Structure 1
Amino acid sequence: MTPLKLIQAILYPLTSAAVLVPLIVFWLLTAFAAWGGLLGLFLMAFVLLAVVRFLMMVLEARARGAAPETPGIEFFSVFGDGWNLFPAALVLLFGWIIVAANDAFGIAWSTAVSVLVSIVFPASLAVLAVTRSPLQSINPVAILRLLERCGGTLWIAIVFAELAGWLAYLGNALPSMLASFIQMYLWFAYASLLGSLIEPYNLFEEIGIPEPLEKTADEIAGDVEKRRVGVLGHAYGFISRDNREGGFRHILAEIARDPDPAGAWAWYFGRMLQWENNVPALFFGQHYVHDALRHGEEATALKVAMRCRLEDPGFRPLAEDRAMLLAAAQRSSNSELAEVLRMG
C-alpha cells in the first residue's frame, strides 16, 4: 500500500459521508448515554451493539473496495446477524488469555502473549469479515492462511492499533466531547485501514478457508432461509424510509452471494408480494425479469411479468428489456402479454 492510499484509508471515516454521518450519530449517542445515569447504561449497551456492527460493515465494505451500507434501526437490536457482533467476544477472549497468562506465568509471558494477540487479532477480524463465520475467525488454519497471504501488510494495522491506543490515552486530557470523538474516529479508522489493507488480495474470491464441520442439507437450507429473512428485513428498513434503491442494492448484493441465486430471486419476490404495500415488489419484479432474461430464463421472465400484471395491469418491464420480453412472449404464444408490450 502506498503512503497516499494509507492516508486515504485512515482518513476515510472523515472523507466519506457514508461513514462520517453514522460516526457523528454514534458519537452523539454515546455522549448522551454517558450523561444519562442508569438509563444511559441501557442506551450505551444498544449503541455499542450498533457501533460494533457498523465497524464490521465498514471493514467488510473496504475489503471489497465498496462503500458501507447505511446503518438502520436493526443495528441496535440484540437479534439478527450475530457474526458482526463477534468482535466483542474476540476482545473478551483475547483479554482473558492475556490475563490468564499473567496470573499463571508472570508479566514476561503475558507480554509475549500480548504481542501474539496483537498479530492474531487483526487477522481474526479479517477472516470474520471475509467469511462472516465466528468459528472461522478463531480457526487457527484460517488465521494462518490469511497471515500467510496478507502478513506483508497487516503489520501496518498492528502499528496503527498501538498508535491509536496511545493517541486515545493522550486524548483523555482534552475536553470529554472532543476526546470521545477522537476515540470513536480511531475505531472507525482502524476498521477502514484493516479492510483497505486486505482489499488488494481479493480474499473474497481467492482465499480458501474450509468449513470446520459438514452441515446437513436441512441445516444449510435453514441457514439460507435465516440469512434471507435478515437481508429482507434490512432492505425493508431502507425501502420504508423511501430509499428503495438502497434496499434493492442490498438485496441484489446478497443474491449474488446466495448459494442458489435463482431460488433467491423467487424467494425475495414472493415475500415482497406479501407486504401490505406491494409496489416495491413490482419494481423488484422489473429487476427479476431483467436478470431472468439475461440468463436465458424466458419462462421465468414471462411468469414474473404476468404475476406483476396480475397485481397491477399497468406493469411494464424496464425499457431495455421490453424487446427481449416481447420476443419471448411471441415465442411462447403469449399473445396477451405480447400485445401489451407492443403497445408500450
Structure 2
Amino acid sequence: MYRTVAQLDAVAAQLVATAPDLCTALPLPQSSIQGTPVSALRIAAPDGPPIDRRPGVLLIGGTHARELMNPDLLVELAVDLVAAYRNGTDVVLGNRTWPAAQLRAMLDTVALYLLPCVNPDGRTYVMTVDDMWRKNRRDNPGTKCDGVDLNRNADILWGVTEGQTSCAPCTDIYCGSGAFSEPENKNVKHLLDTYRVDHFADVHSFSELVIYPWGHAANQTTDPAQNFRTVPTGTCRPLGKPGYAEYIAPDDLAEFRTVAQRIVDEIAAVRGRRYSPEPGMTLYPTTGTHSDYAWSRHLADPALHKTYGYTIETGPSGDDAREAFHPRDPEPIKREAESGLLALLEVAAAG
C-alpha cells in the first residue's frame, strides 16, 4: 500500500523523464547514514521569472520513519501538479476542486522544491523490520541504541532538552551528537542554503495540526531582547528560565496565523476535518526542529533569506498508534493534506 524508497524515487524519475520542461532532479550532497543517495525534485514552469527570482516553497516528508503516508502524499502532489499543467486536468480532492488554470498560474510564478523522503534508511527499516521505528539508522557509539531523531537535530537551540527533546541516545527523541550531525539533515540545510525558499513545511503525522513557531517557548511580541540567540545551546538541560517567552514580531505572528488558517480552511474543504492552527509549544515543547530552524535562520543571520516555517501533522490521533502513523486507508488523509499544501503554494504565488 505504501511506496518503498525505490518506488518513491521511480515516481520522481518518471516525472523528470516525461516532463523535463517542468521537473528537475536535484541530487543532494549527502547520502543517508547507510549510503542511500538522496535527491530532491524541483517543479517550475518554463514561462515566468527566472528561478532565483521566484518565490520558493520547500516541502519535506518522511523525517520520522514510521509516518509512511507523507512521502507518498508529496510524490502524488507532484504528479497532480504536472498533470494539471501538461494536460489541463483539474485536481479533485474530495469536495474541493483546484482548477488546472489556477495551478498552472501558480507554477508559472513559484518554484516548488520537494524532498519526499528525508530519511530513506528509516523508511526501509519500518517497512521491513520495525513498523514503529522513528529515527534514522545512525549507530550511536558506546551504546546499544541506534538512531537520531532528525526533527531534533537542527541548529535552533540544539541540545537544549526542553520538553520532548533528549540527549540520551536510547530515547526516540535523541538530538544527536551535534547540530546537523546527520547527513539527512544536512540535505535539508543544503536546500535552504542553496535555493530561495519563502515558505517551508515539514509534513508529519499525527494530530491534525498546522504548527508554526515557536516550539521551545510561548510566543511574545513585546520584548525583542528575549530571544533564542541569548540562550546557551548544547547544554543537555532545559531552558531553566522561568517565565521565558520567545519574541516574534507582531507582523510575522499575524502572517503565520493567517497562512495557517488558510491551510486549515483548505484542508476542511475536502471532507470537513478541522485541523487546529497553533504554535508548536502548544503541542509540546521541542528544540532543534526543521520548521523552527527554517524560520530562525534570518534572525540568526540577517544576510539569509526569510523563510516562514510550518509543520503539518496529518491525520487524527487515536488509541491505535500504528493506525495513526500508517493508516490502513490513507487516501482521505492524503487528499485533505494535499489541499492544504496547495493552499501554501497559492500563498507563495500571491506574494
| TM-score bracket, shorter-length normalisation | under 0.3
Structure having the higher helix fraction is 1
* Structure with the greater alpha carbon radius of gyration: 1
Structure having the higher strand fraction is 2
State the TM-score, normalizing by the size of structure 2.
Answer: 0.27
Higher RCO (CA-CA < 8 Å; seq separation 6+): 2
State the TM-score, normalizing by the size of structure 1.
Answer: 0.27
